[in-house]
Structure 1
Amino acid sequence: MLNNVSHIVGTKESSEILYDTNFGYIFEYLSNCNDHLLPEGCKTIEHLKKLGEMMADMGSPSDPQVNLDSTIPAVYTYLGQFIDHDITARTDRDSEFQNLDEPEKIKPLHPREVVANLKNGRRPQLDLDSLFGEGPSFNSKYSAQADKLFNNTSLNLFIEDSPSGYLDLRRNNKKALIADARNDENLIVSQLHGVFIKLFNKINTAIEPGLSNHEAYCRARQLTRWAYQYVVVNDYLLQVCDSAVVSDVTSNGPFFFNTHIPFMPLEFSVAGFRFGHSMIRPFYQINDTTSKKIMEILGPGMNGLVDGTGKLKPENVVKWSNFSSFNNATPTNLARKIDPFIAKGLFDLSVLGEGVPMPPNVLASLTQRNLLRGYMLSIPVGQAVAEAMRITPLTHQELVEGLNEEQECVLYDSGFTARTPLWYYVLQESKVQQDGNRLGYVGSKLVAETLYGLVKGDFNSYLNNHDDNAVTPEGILLPDRPDPIKTISDIFSYAEVAI
């Protein structure tokens, strides 16, 4: 269980890491060729920092700049973050061989060194270990770290809720008692974690009679995972990726990502999947009465969202119709367009929450951290990946399309229009090819092949259990629901949360 971890301060106790699974490169031959990487040197580092400074979305409640909104409901921003926490840990942990906060140590690492030293603290599966941890021990003679997450009689996960729609994670001294502390790093993903707890608990309570608690728990966990996996493949991917790419991947399987050797692709985790940072709004309408700037929802237990009793204040409970579409209605909060602009508040993470300063020397800008991490981990540039996929890369003109004069100068002066950091390339590709409302081709292939490939490569996933009565082409059948679960909105409705 990751009890003492965040995206900035890292893991305090190595014993918390359940797994040491492999990272690797989809395009390993590209990462080993200097012609397909950013040039090494101090100038590249300075250009990357300057580029990061140029990527600000300046929207505010008084100046919302709705032209920067996409057509994607905002819930998919945070479902993406929830997915990320389920399948990766450590790509953003600084270590002795990956330190962004000491300039003299910022240099590209050889791919062999990266693969040998950077290990994933998650399994490359969508199995919700961020929700269940290692699971309960099932036997009073033994104990497991995750036992404290479960009622030892019903084996339901602990949650604070009420029939009136109140929802919060169980807390101790304001800190959430969950399997992955990262899922309490902002209010929205915290509430989403609570939704999945309620989903599991309802299934576990309504499971067919005659099963032991142990058997009911295992079946309920299986159905929860399958509903989640189905939504990722058939709802999330279609919301954020080019539908033609998704159709090709789900019909024919991944072409570039080899799922026979389980690993977490670095091109995906360090670059492609970080497109979600661009979707973050500078502010949100949480419910009918409460609106918050992005920095005000970080760290619920530290940012004044939790009261003196150690519980979330009722006025901060998320109303999910503000984030997700029900009956085809457009929600209040739409994700920002997938483009090279990031909410300005994320440019200064110098204070993670009330009274919690950043560690010394930590580079506080999210954009700069993303760009420099890709450089250090020898991630191939966007043009190289596009050519490896046998498609024509973006032109110099397309790579500066929609940018102001200062931003254009940074791209041209740095040479990044010829060799573009993959993360930035994916964002600009979306802007050029899809007006920011979906990922472009390269981004869609990286994201769809990886997520679908992880599900397809898992023998226990719904894709490999079509003979089970709960698995249908239209979705996953759950107890006490006649219609299958197809979308994240179906999960909200089934879990009976505030809508």
Structure 2
Amino acid sequence: MAEQGQFRRVITNLTHGGHAILDSADEAEKTAQTQESLSTRSAVVQEATDIAAHVGTTSFDFLFPDLAKKFPAEHLPQGKQVATVVRALLDLGAAMVETPDEVRDPELNSPIPAIYTYWGQFLDHDLTAATDRDLVINITDEKLPPIPPDKVIEKLQNLRMPALNLDSVYGDGPFAPPAVGKVVVPYDGIKFRLGLLAPVPAGVGAPIPPVDDTQRDLPRDDARAPLVGDTRNDENLVVAQLHVAFLRFHNAAVDWVRDNEPEFESDAEVFRRARDLTRWTYQWLCVHDYLRTVARPDVVDRVDTAEGNLLELDRRGTYMPVEFAVAAFRFGHSMVRGAYDWNRNFGRPGNRSSVATLNELFQFTGKGGFAGQLTTLPSNWPVEWDRMVDKNSQFANRFARLIDTRLAPPLADLRGEGNDPGLAERLKKLLKHLAQRNLLRGYRLAAPTGQAVAEALGVTPLSRIELEQDSSDAVKKALGAGGLFERTPLWFYVLKEAEVKELGRRLGEVGSRIVAETVIGQIRNDPGSYVNRTSWSPAQGVLLPNGRPVRTIADFLRFAGVL
């Protein structure tokens, strides 16, 4: 494994969910010549140049290399059919997003609390930091040839070591020499510095208890930019507040080590111990709470207890599976709500507003400008986590949406995306539409079909009847027009499998396998993880005030002092 010092710990100016090709400059140059904007061309070329100059990267590869070797037989149609397939993917993506008048009854939400949607996003940012801003999709609809798998492996790079090691939280650590002119994660000694809430005038909204706890924002500079290891964690307020919880968990772990483990004496020893306990707790929760909630528990158990794993470190080294990154793990997009029961200023009818919209949760971050002149989060906007973690809540809108092929309306018009004035209007619209981006990217990066992956795993593929089940006419038309009933995009397939096999309550077998194999495999392949360094369980970790170990995400938030 490469030394982590070679890797860039603090990552800025990326957006969520993209991937780039290191030699995309040549294609981008040719593409930009067909666009009306020279500024688009220069931005794309500079982006590719900056990417190529970066040396601290790990590889992407295919979880199913035998399928990659059969390219294009186990992939979506290509050759002369490219234009037809691209058009079908665009139509399919458009049909997957509900319009406002189609939004489902809240009673039809999943049994998964909303926190799991954003724990997944946080996990994604910890595993992958790809290097694009979706500019590799900056080509005409008619010309989107998939990149052969060997070229994807050669050119697609990951700025993160794909381990659950919380680089996005710890940055370069408290003992690194000052980095002049660079963003660093700020520490007060061996604890994280936190951002202070900004008080709001009376009548604007109630301050969120405990009102004397003002350290509930990310640390920021004077321009409101987050001083964190990955600025993508300030894209929306839910993941930003979750990042705050991780900062506070570490700080509480420092106090716990000092109070309970006197054998760790120096600041360096205490810091490393608190960091290990934070990382190990997080890793354990990813397997034993997160995965067993969003995926089939029997599949997770089978992967977790198996002697072998699809991510075999001695075969290809450390890598991030393309099938996970561009398809299966994007299942979380279907869980995103258009609005949330956020805190007491929202919630039940009769309050100032019944819900906090997704757009507001993007707006009330440093990147979103806090909707005013404030430089930190206002005191009426912190989350009340009890509304996001309760698996037994009586309120349906405190849960994630079903894992299925229908996405919330705001995901067709993403805030903060596609706003470059140099982009053509068609490209702006494409970059704002999450489903279309996901489908085009999967095609572009040679993800195998859902049927091919199912067969490789020994799972009976979905039938055409199952693919059509409860699908709209527009979805069925797009699938038929592109030949996608027989060769189905992996992202759509994973969502449809969850929809028809598990009623949208969790991932199906194919989705569960890809996600569990990747997450558990990365933990196994990390020599510093809880499974390799110790015979560790939460009973050997930090304890809650009542003496109980941290065994759930809700417990994690309690120990952090935010629940």
Give the structure-1-normalised TM-score: 0.90
Deviation of 1:58 (Å)? 3.8
Greater shift in the superposed pair: 330-339 or 478-487: 478-487
Q: Report the secondary structure of 1:397's partner residue.
A: helix
**1:266-277 alignment, distance < 5 Å:** 266-277=322-333
Moved more, 50-59 or 176-185: 50-59
Question: What's the offset of the Cα at 1:295?
Answer: 2.0
C-alpha contact 1:57 1:342 (8 A) present in aligned 2: yes
Structure 1 equivalent of residue 283 of structure 2: 229
CA distance in 1, matches of 2:470, 2:546: 47
1:127-276 pair list within 5 angstroms: 127-138=165-176, 143=179, 148-152=184-188, 154-160=189-195, 164=211, 165-166=213-214, 167-172=216-221, 173-208=223-258, 209=262, 211-253=265-307, 255-260=309-314, 261-276=317-332
Distance 1:475 1:24, change over 3 A: farther
Check whether the contact 1:100–1:372 (CA below 8 A) recurs between aligned residues: no
Q: Distance in 2 between matches of 1:81 and 1:359?
A: 29
Judging changes above 3 Å, is the alpha-carbon distance between structure 1 residues 287 and 424 closer, same or farther for their aligned structure 2 residues?
Answer: same
1:15/1:38 CA distance change after superposition, 3 Å = closer
Equivalent of 2:109 in 69, 81, 86 = 69
Deviation for aligned residue 1:368: 0.6
Shift of 1:67: 4.4
Give the drift of 1:473. 6.5
Show the 5 A alignment for 1:82-121: 82-90=122-130, 93-94=133-134, 98-103=136-141, 106-121=144-159
Tell me if the contact between 2:112 and 2:505 (Cα under 8 Å) persists in the aligned partners: yes
Distance 1:352 1:58 in 2: 20
Equivalenced residue count is 486
Q: What SS is found at the alignment partner of 1:425? A: helix
Deviation (angstroms), 1:211: 1.8
Say whether residues 1:283 and 2:336 are aligned partners. no
Deviations 1:438-480 (A, max 9, x none): 000000000011101111111111112334xxx3375733486
Higher strand proportion (structure 1 or 2): 1
Corresponding residue number in structure 2 for 1:387: 455
Q: Could you list the per-position Cα deviations for residues 23-64 of structure 1 after superposition, in whole angstroms to 9, with x for gaps in the alignment?
A: 00011221232221101110000000000000013468x966
Letter in 1 for 2:276: Q
1:451 aligns with 2:524: no
| Alignment partners' CA distance in 2, 1:345 and 1:319 | 23
Q: What is the CA–CA distance in structure 2 between the aligned matches of 1:496 and 1:235, rounded to whole Å? A: 19
Q: CA deviation at 1:105?
A: 5.1
Q: What amino acid is the match of 1:365?
A: H
3-state SS of paired residue (1:264): strand
The answer to whether 1:428 aligns with 2:478 is: no
1:60-114 deviations in Å (ceiling 9; x for gaps): 8x9662244111001000000000000001176445xx33444465211011111
Identity %: 37
Instruction: For residue 416 of structure 1, report the CA deviation from its aligned partner.
Output: 1.0
Distance 1:88 1:286, change over 3 A: same
1:30 to 67, 74, 79: 67
Partners of 1:371 and 1:423 within 8 A in 2: yes
CA change 1:409–1:229 in 2 (3 A) is: same
2:305 counterpart letter in structure 1: S
Q: Which residue of 2 aligns with 1:6?
A: 15
Question: CA 1:434–1:117 in 2, change beyond 3 Å: closer, same or farther?
Answer: same
- 8 Å Cα contact 2:74/2:452 also seen in 1: yes
Is this contact kept in 2: 1:240–1:439, CA < 8 A? yes
TM-aligned CA deviation for residue 176 of structure 1:
1.4
Contact 2:311–2:518 (CA<8 Å) still a contact in 1? yes
In structure 2, relative to structure 1, the CA distance for the partners of 1:147 and 1:407 (3 Å cut) is: closer
- Higher CA-based Rg: 2
- Could you tell me how far apart the structure 1 residues matched to 2:267 and 2:181 are? 19
Query: Structure 1 residues 194, 317: CA separation in 2 closer, same or farther (over 3 Å shift)?
Result: same
Q: Closer, same or farther in 2 for the Cα pair 1:270/1:253, shift >3 Å? A: farther
Alpha-carbon deviation of 1:262?
A: 1.7
Cα distance, 1:14–1:375 mapped onto 2, change above 3 Å: closer
Aligned-pair CA distance for 1:285:
1.4
Task: Select between 274-283 and 252-261 the one with higher mean Cα deviation.
Answer: 252-261
The worse-fitting range, judged by mean Cα deviation, of 9-18 and 275-284 is 9-18
- 1:9 is displaced (CA, Å) by 9.0
Give the Cα separation in 1 of the matches to 2:530 and 2:422.
42
* Kept in 1: contact 2:326–2:442 (CA 8 A): yes
Unpaired segments ≥5 residues, structure 2:
1-9, 21-46, 198-209, 347-354
Deviates more, 1:11-20 or 1:257-266: 11-20
CA distance in 2, matches of 1:176, 1:15: 26
Partners of 2:303 and 2:185 in 1: CA distance? 37
Q: Displacement, 1:217?
A: 1.2
SS at match of 2:485: coil
The 1:247/1:48 distance shift into structure 2, 3 A limit, reads same
Q: Is the 8 A contact 1:200 1:220 kept in 2?
A: yes
In 2: Cα distance, 1:340 partner to 1:116 partner: 32
> For the structure 1 residues 59 and 186, does the alpha-carbon distance in structure 2 shift closer, same or farther, using more than 3 Å as the test?
same
Question: 1:149·1:178 contact (CA, 8 Å) conserved in 2?
Answer: yes
The CA distance in 2 between the partners of 1:316 and 1:120, in whole Å, is 34
1:327-348 CA distance string (max 9 Å, x none): x545651110010111111112
Q: Deviations over 1:122-167 (max 9, x none)?
A: 001000001111223356xx65888842335x22111125853541
Q: What secondary structure is seen at the aligned counterpart in 2 of 1:22?
A: strand
1:130–1:180 CA contact under 8 A, matched in 2: yes
Alpha-carbon separation, structure 1, partners of 2:179 and 2:132? 31
Per-residue CA deviations over 1:185-225 (Å, capped at 9, x if unaligned) read: 00100000000000011112332346222221111111110
382-391 vs 103-112, which deviates more? 103-112
**Within 2, Cα distance between the matches of 1:236 and 1:359?**
41
User: SS at the partner of 1:297?
Assistant: helix
The 2-side partners of 1:307 and 1:395 are apart by: 52
**Structure 2 CA distance, aligned partners of 1:129 and 1:237?**
21
| Contact kept? 1:254, 1:449, Cα under 8 Å | no
Structure 2 residue aligned with 1:489 = 554
- Could you list the per-position Cα deviations for residues 300-335 of structure 1 after superposition, in whole angstroms to 9, with x for gaps in the alignment? 225453652301112211110111027x54565111
Mapped partners of 1:481, 1:214: distance in 2:
28
Root mean square deviation of aligned Cα: 2.7
C-alpha distance 160-403 of structure 1, shift in aligned 2 (>3 A): same
Q: How far does residue 412 in structure 1 lie from its aligned partner after superposition?
A: 2.2
Contact 1:21 1:122 in 2 (8 A): yes
The structure-2 alpha-carbon separation of the partners of 1:490 and 1:93, relative to structure 1 and needing over 3 Å to count, comes to same
Contact 2:498 2:505 in 1 (8 A): yes
Matches of 1:17 and 1:187, distance apart in 2: 30
TM-score, length-scaled by structure 2? 0.80
Please, which runs of 5 or more residues in structure 1 have no aligned partner? none
